[in-house]
Structure 1
Amino acid sequence: MINGANDIIDPQLVPYRILRGGDKIPAIGMGTFGSDRYTAEQVAAAVKGAAEVGFRLFDCASVYGNESLIGDAFQEIMRSGVKREELFITSKVWNDMHGRGDVLLSCAKSLKDLKLDYIDLYFIHWPFPNFHPKGAPPDYRDPSARPYIHEEYMETWYQMERLVKAGYVRHIGTSNMTVSKLKLLLRDCTIMPAANEMELHPCFQQPELFQFCLDHGIQPIGFCPIGSPSRPDRDRTPDDVVDIEDPVVVRIAKAHGVHPAIICIKWAVQRGQIPIPFSIHRDKYVSNLRCTIEDPLTEEEMEELATVDKNCRLIKGQVFLWEGANDWRDLWDVINPTMNP
């Protein structure tokens, strides 16, 4: 395990991206979704430790159930001398808070829990109000669940725009979207999304959506950057592949003398997305950050990694399906035809 002063990375050395409007965002962040495997106390301690070693971007969400303790960690981080403007903090409105006025309430709770005056980037977590109650069996179907309805989504988005105008959030973004849904949003919004959070790893590269985001000034932020080996059991299916076992990834990792997970993160940063890996282990999150500033992949290695895409979505969202849906693909492909042009 790495310990001591040698595991500190100067945040100024970490690459960054420029969001719409000119604000900087670090090119790698720390995820905080660990509620199925780790306690809120463990996640908050990892956030504090990650900030100590140089992380400045933290990806949070109300549904993770740990924002209050993470907020305590942020207070400790700022008392240690890190200024608020040096941090870039995101959060998300959950599916059951899409109703009129609910987005403001959700944001207010996240601000209170995170103990912040503003959130840097606020996402709509999923593009519909479908949800899966805690403790419900995996095959439970919410009676009110339905395909994407653009008019409903825009009602939620306009509430997000109000948060920007009121100064509660600096930027707003989308998550778990598709090209067809983003096209509708860009047609009708008055404040453009600054980022789209999406599943991105070598075995699921989403080239069409990725390029669409770049072409429209939307920063891709990638969750599951190493293939999420510790993802919840409900998100596992027999045909899932394992990125860190892919022969190309393994071979390149051996050439660089690192774990295959590090190659996944290097690939993500060099490709242009912002990966948000999560770990409670200091040696791992130090390695995740350090790999962005040393020993880059070659152009040939990047080209090789482009060939390992297997279009293998790991977070399929099947728990959000509605009665009558065929399978999880409907969740991504179907737009309610009765309410959209």
Structure 2
Amino acid sequence: MVTCTSCRQQEQTTWISSSSAGGQTQSHSQSTCSVLAVYLYKIRILDLSQGRLSMAFLKRVGGGLPRMTMAAVRQHHCESNAIKTVTLNNGAKMPMIGIGTWLARPGEVHAAIAEALKIGYNHVDCAHVYYNEEEVGAALEMAFSSGYIKREDLWITSKLWCADFAPDDVLRACERTLKDLRVDHLDLYLMHWPIRIRKGAAQPGQIDPSDQLGYSRDMVVETWREMEKLVERGLVRAIGVSNFTERKLFNFLEDIKTKPAVHQVECHPYFQQRKMKEFCKKSGIQFQSYSPLGAPERPPRNREANAPLVMADPALKEIAAKHSCSVAQVAIAWQYQSGVPLLVKSVHAERIAQNLAAKDIHLEEGDMAAIDALDRNARLLFGRFGYKANQTVEDFWDGENIKPNSLA
């Protein structure tokens, strides 16, 4: 018997030795849990779809092969390393770590989603305006058919784009996303921004100011009431919002029947959103973080002059060295350990695995306090594509989280 370092369970595993004479077997004790499974996934020598281990693995370990299927390995690994969940105001349980798809280019996102679902992710975040939902859908279909994950075990989020806010467009937009993703329902559907853009307008970064219709309280409420109907139709389990200010969210809540289940916003060590977190908590809305690393790969149109680089922070580097992990893992672990659901994003297999492994890094109280102290109230994603002609940053964000030194 041995005790697994991950799940603390004691197990006995029989191994088949390829070097045994006459096909006889030799047995010895070995954990089948996290250490084995993570190693196998990382060196990428498993044929997960066929449920077998390759000869490359036999050579690496001197001829040992556990007498179990690959499905059993993955099931045991995932159960003992389960991603925590949060319970939303409608009772649904949302996994705290999701893989994002913003800026994942065509040709990359399929492999990224497939890889993520193979190694234990169970939450995918999408949006129509990311222009890759069809490719995400192909990856989901493959994952379901290959047995990597069942639909009922996967949380899928998408977002209603600002050009589809007209009452007659909401249902069509949702149905288009369902078709692209090849599923019959979404677990969460978010209002992407609290602004409206003229139907048929160009994509972000190319939108003509004349197509900006801006924010109005009545418009947001009108769109929300159509989203409520999506829940009634069974197309969506929960609905929520994204990128609202506290003022807009407060005004919105006064006029609606169904409270948002989630508010998804930018959040990282330099922009910790403490007031918004507290407001959401008091209002019964789940706060969710995107860009937990400070969106280092955001396109030029989203970059402000002299914007700080979260991943270059000396304190984060020091904590990472202390725990023998990456700075990105420290930033992810800080939010996860604080109980904040978050979205991580990469199209590289190694980083996809590292981002998920961050949940198992335990930051000490001093580490957490040091990261808490890094808050600069520095918003890095200003949503300038949605500004009306001559609209200021202060006006767009209702003067919230905007300081003269936020980009210092």
Same fold (TM over 0.5): yes
Shift of residue 10 of structure 1?
1.1
1:17 maps to which of 86, 105, 110? 86
Deviation per CA, 1:115-168: give whole Å up to 9, x if none: 11100000000101137724865xx64214244210010000001101011110
- 8 Å CA contact 1:223–1:275 kept in 2: the answer is yes
Structure 1 stretches of 5 or more lacking a match? Answer: 336-341
How far, CA to CA, are the matches of 1:262 and 1:216 in structure 2?
A: 30
Going from structure 1 to structure 2, the CA distance change for 1:102 and 1:167 (only over 3 Å counts) comes to: same
- 8 Å CA contact 1:30–1:58 kept in 2: the answer is yes
SS at match of 2:263: strand
- The TM-score with structure 2 as length reference comes to 0.76
- In structure 2, the residue matched to 1:77 is 143
SS at match of 2:270: coil
1:67 maps to which of 133, 139, 144? 133
SS at match of 2:209: coil
1:216 maps to which of 274, 283, 288? 283
2:200 matched to 1:160?
no
Flag the structure with larger Rg. Answer: 2
**For residues 184-203 of structure 1, what are the structure 2 equivalents within 5 Å?**
184-203=251-270
Shift of residue 171 of structure 1?
0.2
How far, CA to CA, are the matches of 1:162 and 1:41 in structure 2?
A: 35
Deviation per CA, 1:192-236: give whole Å up to 9, x if none: 111011000000111101111122221111111111111111100
Going from structure 1 to structure 2, the CA distance change for 1:322 and 1:259 (only over 3 Å counts) comes to: same
Of the structure 1 ranges 5-14 and 52-61, higher mean CA displacement relative to structure 2 is found in 5-14
- In structure 1, the residue matched to 2:43 is 3
Shift of residue 266 of structure 1?
0.4
Identity of aligned residues (%): 34
How far, CA to CA, are the matches of 1:141 and 1:303 in structure 2?
A: 44
Shift of residue 291 of structure 1?
1.5
- 8 Å CA contact 2:272–2:377 kept in 1: the answer is yes
Of the structure 1 ranges 106-115 and 316-325, higher mean CA displacement relative to structure 2 is found in 316-325
- 8 Å CA contact 1:141–1:322 kept in 2: the answer is no
1:328 maps to which of 376, 380, 393? 393
CA RMSD of aligned residues (A): 2.1
Shift of residue 18 of structure 1?
1.1
> Which amino acid in the other structure matches residue 364 of structure 2?
T
- In structure 2, the residue matched to 1:55 is 121
How far, CA to CA, are the matches of 1:272 and 1:148 in structure 2?
A: 31
- In structure 1, the residue matched to 2:365 is 299
How far, CA to CA, are the matches of 2:205 and 2:181 in structure 1?
A: 28
How far, CA to CA, are the matches of 1:209 and 1:134 in structure 2?
A: 28
Deviation per CA, 1:49-70: give whole Å up to 9, x if none: 1000000100000011111111
- 8 Å CA contact 1:17–1:24 kept in 2: the answer is yes
SS at match of 2:264: strand
SS at match of 1:58: strand
Shift of residue 240 of structure 1?
1.1
> Which amino acid in the other structure matches residue 394 of structure 2?
R
1:238 maps to which of 298, 302, 305? 305
How far, CA to CA, are the matches of 2:85 and 2:205 in structure 1?
A: 40
What number of residue pairs does the alignment pair up? 328
**For residues 255-334 of structure 1, what are the structure 2 equivalents within 5 Å?**
255-292=322-359, 294-325=360-391, 327-333=392-398
- The TM-score with structure 1 as length reference comes to 0.91
Shift of residue 241 of structure 1?
0.8
Structure 2 stretches of 5 or more lacking a match? Answer: 1-40, 47-56, 58-72, 401-408
How far, CA to CA, are the matches of 1:126 and 1:334 in structure 2?
A: 17
- 8 Å CA contact 2:101–2:109 kept in 1: the answer is yes
- 8 Å CA contact 2:195–2:386 kept in 1: the answer is no
SS at match of 1:17: strand
Deviation per CA, 1:89-116: give whole Å up to 9, x if none: 0000101000121111100000010011
Of the structure 1 ranges 99-108 and 15-24, higher mean CA displacement relative to structure 2 is found in 15-24
- In structure 1, the residue matched to 2:16 is none
Of the structure 1 ranges 124-133 and 90-99, higher mean CA displacement relative to structure 2 is found in 124-133
How far, CA to CA, are the matches of 1:143 and 1:115 in structure 2?
A: 35
How far, CA to CA, are the matches of 1:130 and 1:255 in structure 2?
A: 47
Higher RCO (CA < 8 A, seq sep 6+) = 1
